[in-house]
Amino acid sequence: MEKLYVHPLPVRIWHWINAAGFIVLILTGIQLRYADLFHVLPFPVTVRAHNWVGFTLIVNYFLWLLFYLFTDKIKVYHPELDPAKHFRNTLRQLQYYGYGIFKGDPNPHHVSLYHKFNPLQSVAYQVIMILLVPIQFYTGLLLWDLERFGGSVALFGGVRVVDTVHVSLFVFFIAFIFVHPYLASLGHTWSAHFKAMLTGYEEVD
């Protein structure tokens, strides 16, 4: 096995801060949404924790964005511009996850310095990081101070629309918290990708 340094230190720091922060936001969000059913912390403490962790993750997100925009690492997010090749690679990856992995077939995607994501991961992370995460942060910011951002709330369609979008994405990220570790366990050993996100080095053939 060859070791390839594909996860720079800033990305690893961002990843673990983001992971811990999202777990805190989910847990505090559950208590805020269902206060009658879940009561772990005093309500004012839960509100403050949710708000401050949210602000921390917004700052963390922009640090992540600046790192990728101003280094050559942005290449890992470049989409495949050949539609036929993208479709072919995506189909192979789907076949692997849906069938081949259970037969012991090798993963069709081979990690390299600027291609650490397979076609499905590439599309998923582009949608999540460029669209869904900013929307979640934006709606959270609006709900944080409805009076200050009254104009933006009205433009968005009202408080009910803002809240519905925020809660819908909240449910999506709960699912993501469970799916992401499962997919991360599908390396050549169950712990290989977890170790890589700690050390920076992926083991490749």
For 74-110, the pLDDT digits (tens) are 888 887 888 899 899 999 999 999 889 898 898 898 8
Q: What is the pLDDT of residue 83?
A: 87
| Domain carrying residue 28 | 2-204
CATH of the domain at 35: 1.20.950.20
| pLDDT > 80? residue 26 | yes
In this structure, are residues 3 and 110 in contact, taking their beta carbons and an 8 Å threshold?
Answer: no
Cα–Cα dist 50/58, whole Å:
12
| pLDDT > 90? residue 38 | no
Percent of the chain with pLDDT over 90: 67
Total domains in the fold of the chain: 1
Q: What is the pLDDT of residue 35?
A: 77
Report in angstroms the alpha-carbon separations of 27 from 14, 33, 41, 95, 156.
Answer: 20, 10, 11, 35, 26
Cα–Cα dist 59/185, whole Å:
29
Q: What is the pLDDT of residue 152?
A: 94
